[in-house]
Amino acid sequence: MDEILSVFSVEAREQLEAMEAGLMQLEQGDRDPETINAVFRAAHTIKGGAGVVEIHSVEKFTHVLENVLDRLRNGEIEVGGEMISALLLGCDHIGALLGVVQTGDMEPDAELKQAGDAITESLRPFLGATAHAAAGKEVSADADGNIERDPERNGSNSATSDCWHISVRFGQDVLRNGMEPLAFLRYLLNLGEIAHITTLTDALPAADEMDPESCYLGFEINFRSHASKEAIEKVFDFCRDDCELHILPPNSKVADYLQLIESLPEETMRLGEILVKSGALTQEELDAGLRAQSGARVGAGDTVPAPQLGDILVQQSNVQPELVEAAAAKQKTVSEKKAAESSLIRVHADKLDQLIDLVGELVIAGASANLLAKKSGEATLVEATSVLSRLVESIRDSALQLRMVQIGETFNRFHRVARDVSKELGKDIELVISGAETELDKSVVEKIGDPLMHLVRNAMDHGIETAAIRAAAGKPVKGRVELNAFHDSGSIVIEVVDDGGGLNKDRIEAKALEKGIIQPGQSLSDAEIVNLIFEAGFSTVEKVTNLSGRGVGMDVVRKNITALRGSVNVTTEPGAGSRFTIRLPLTLAIIDGFLTGVARSSYVIPLDMVVECIELANTSEERDYINLRGEVLPFVRLRELFEVSGERPARENVVVVQYAGRKAGIVVDQLLGEFQTVIKPLGTLFRNMRGIGGSTILGSGEVALILDVQALVSRCVRAEEQLAHGSTGTRRLEVH
């Protein structure tokens, strides 16, 4: 049951995302009926799944939303901002109910129930009341959105031309497969009301021949509902292979009922009497239909090619050929979509993590085998291990690709954030997304959501000015926040850009002095000043709001991003806005590395960041930079940085690396070539050490440290800036 609930929660949240995205499209002016239908289907799927796994709190609440959406798609109500807001709050409430289920509780607490009742009350105006024209009686909706009709009509034998007709014959193995026929009928009541039902036992054998584990039941049902045929069919999804199901829509032609009678196993006259008794047909309609029946009509069990079937429909039902062609084209599209969905398979994240771990061990074992082969000097063995290495590399790439997801899934949730924050602040803000198709590791995507949330909300609250201030400055009244993503030098770059007023550097510096973050007389560059906003407890806002001002957001952003081996920086221009730039590794598991050596120690540099390798010419020990084709290149000596003992070799090499558009050099003794690197995290003792990003195991079994290029490049740049200001930069590894 735990596994079933877990699968339901995952799928329900996917439907919630689709539902929320559709509602946002409707609010932005989309009136495509398919968009409305998609939102309705998402709500119906959640409700249906909740009913199957018996989460009645979700089922009951979603039923209210479904009734509103049903009226919307039937054109009984129009799209409005108040309705969309209420439905979006309903989506949030369903998410909260799912969160309760994931904690192991099947029912919400009193506070959550009260919140749900408040949302239901806000949806009441959109449930409304309609008139049932055929009966001339009042039809209303109760608090849960269930349709209430005149009780005298329920179960009557009067004509019910407004009803669906459902013929279902359950197979003999239904009970053996753990399904109960009556449960499907009870669940059918979620979509409407059963106006009439006849239970058929014609298939029941004599008592001495009857198998108590077999099912012999059939039902003829008149069903009054606004649901679609697809929704009604979904009620029987779990037993479609074990039942024969026929559904006729309201106001079907008599010829359709005659086809149905022919296709069913019971005696024709008996079925005709049942249809008349249920009110689906009058006796006159049945008699006239039987008299007009001809052999040209197609039986339900016949196999007819699609074009021929279309011609017959046109001839018999007076259907326009254009409608038949449009229906056929739509059915083809639906079939292709279902075929694409059936080609997907859902895999638990833990299994993928285990696969990546095993591939990592395979990479290490392959490197060991390759090393031993080279030591043996056997050409055939070296060739065989070389082929093995290529295959392992392909397996590694394929395994990592399984974990890659598009960041657009994370970006899209911010449309809702932008909408809610805009309304709360009273600002008109547009969110623009680009690079949504950019892929990165799923584990990175999951952990970057919260930092992005802080940055987007801060951009809207602090960055974007009010409409009056923007108009006075000659800027468009509508503010603009951009979310951009792209690949750069083996990293993924995510930008949060706003066209607001920019950061006030003087105010930031004054606040930093006030809080003791910097000391009086301390000289800072513009970049260092604006990046002070990432310090713990720092905030320039005088008034605390629901969104920000407590100084507990930006430092958490930097901490979370640093934990992902990434970095965040901000640039700003007064009056034009700010740009927050996040750089993250594509994956946290396996990378291509460049292996180097210093004395007996080995160090790995991420290959994507390596630009070139050059020989280090004789240079003064006091100077930590060289002239690289007219460009000043600062460098760091790993021997000195990590205090490696021993004399420097006669020939040293510089590995030129690049990060965030800045170049620096790393001086090493040996260049050992490319190396597949399985990243192993460092212990808690070393987790705050800058300059080292992790470790890996070489084919020889020795441990090599993976260099944190970001920290080394920043160190070199900072040392050069300090030198330019006349101060001496330290050469020792910084530990914080």
Element of type H or E holding 677: strand 670-678
**Residue 65 burial by Cβ neighbours in a 10 Å radius (0-12, 13-18, 19+):** buried
Mean pLDDT of 402-422: 85
Q: How far is CA 5 from CA 1, 47, 51, 308, in A?
A: 6, 14, 12, 46
Domain 151-295 and domain 590-724 have a common topology = no
Length of the chain in terms of residues written:
736
Q: What angle do CA 606, 609, 615 make, to 5 degrees?
A: 95
**In this structure, are residues 736 and 688 in contact, taking their beta carbons and an 8 Å threshold?**
yes
The pLDDT tens digits for 15-29 are 898 898 889 888 888
β-sheet bridge partners, residue 432:
482
Summary count for the chain: helices (H), strands (E) = 23, 24
The pLDDT tens digits for 613-625 are 998 876 556 677 8
β-sheet bridge partners, residue 689:
735
Neighbour tally for 665: CB within 10 Å: 27
Q: Quick one: pLDDT band at residue 159, thresholds 50, 70, 90?
A: very low
Instruction: Give the CATH number of domain 2-137.
Output: 1.20.120.160
Neighbour tally for 252: CB within 10 Å: 18
Q: Which fold has domain 151-295?
A: Alpha-Beta Plaits (3.30.70)
Q: What is the 3-state secondary structure (H, E, C) of 236-270?
A: CHHHHHHEEEEEECCCCCHHHHHHHHHHCCCCHHH
HSE (side-chain half, CA atoms, 13 Å) at 242? 21
The pLDDT tens digits for 231-289 are 888 888 888 888 888 888 887 777 777 777 777 877 776 777 777 776 666 666 666 66
Task: Answer with the residue of higher pLDDT: 41 or 7.
Answer: 41
- pLDDT, residue 319, reads 45
**In this structure, are residues 216 and 203 in contact, taking their beta carbons and an 8 Å threshold?**
yes
Neighbour tally for 616: CB within 10 Å: 16
Looking at every residue in the chain, the average pLDDT score rounds to 77
Cβ-defined contacts of 18-26 (< 8 Å, 24+): 18/42, 19/43, 19/46, 19/91, 20/88, 20/91, 20/416, 21/412, 21/415, 23/84, 23/87, 23/88, 23/91, 24/415, 24/416, 24/419, 26/79, 26/84
Answer yes or no: is pLDDT of 408 > 60: yes
- pLDDT, residue 299, reads 42
The pLDDT tens digits for 423-467 are 888 888 999 999 988 888 887 888 888 888 888 988 898 889 988
Answer yes or no: is pLDDT of 169 > 50: yes
The CATH number, out of the four listed (2.120.10.30, 3.40.50.620, 2.40.50.180, 1.20.1560.10), of the domain defined by the range 590-724: 2.40.50.180
Report the side by side order of strands in the sheet with 631-637.
Answer: 610-616, 652-659, 662-668, 631-637, 625-628
Q: Which fold has domain 406-585?
A: Heat Shock Protein 90 (3.30.565)
Nearest to 98 by CA among 44, 67, 62, 145: 62
Calpha distance 559→687 (Å, rounded): 12
Map out the domains of the chain as residue ranges. Answer: 2-137, 151-295, 349-403, 406-585, 590-724
Grouping H, G, I as helix, E, B as strand and the rest as coil, residue 507 is helix
Answer yes or no: is pLDDT of 553 > 90: no
**In this structure, are residues 160 and 197 in contact, taking their beta carbons and an 8 Å threshold?**
no
Q: Quick one: pLDDT band at residue 723, thresholds 50, 70, 90?
A: low
- pLDDT, residue 209, reads 87
Sequence-separated (6 or more) residues with CB below 8 Å from residue 379: none
- pLDDT, residue 654, reads 92
Calpha distance 598→644 (Å, rounded): 8
- pLDDT, residue 87, reads 92
Q: Quick one: pLDDT band at residue 290, thresholds 50, 70, 90?
A: low
Q: What angle do CA 602, 605, 606 make, to 5 degrees?
A: 140
Calpha distance 584→599 (Å, rounded): 31
**In this structure, are residues 262 and 268 in contact, taking their beta carbons and an 8 Å threshold?**
yes
Answer yes or no: is pLDDT of 361 > 80: yes
- For residue 146 the two structure tokens come to 């269930």
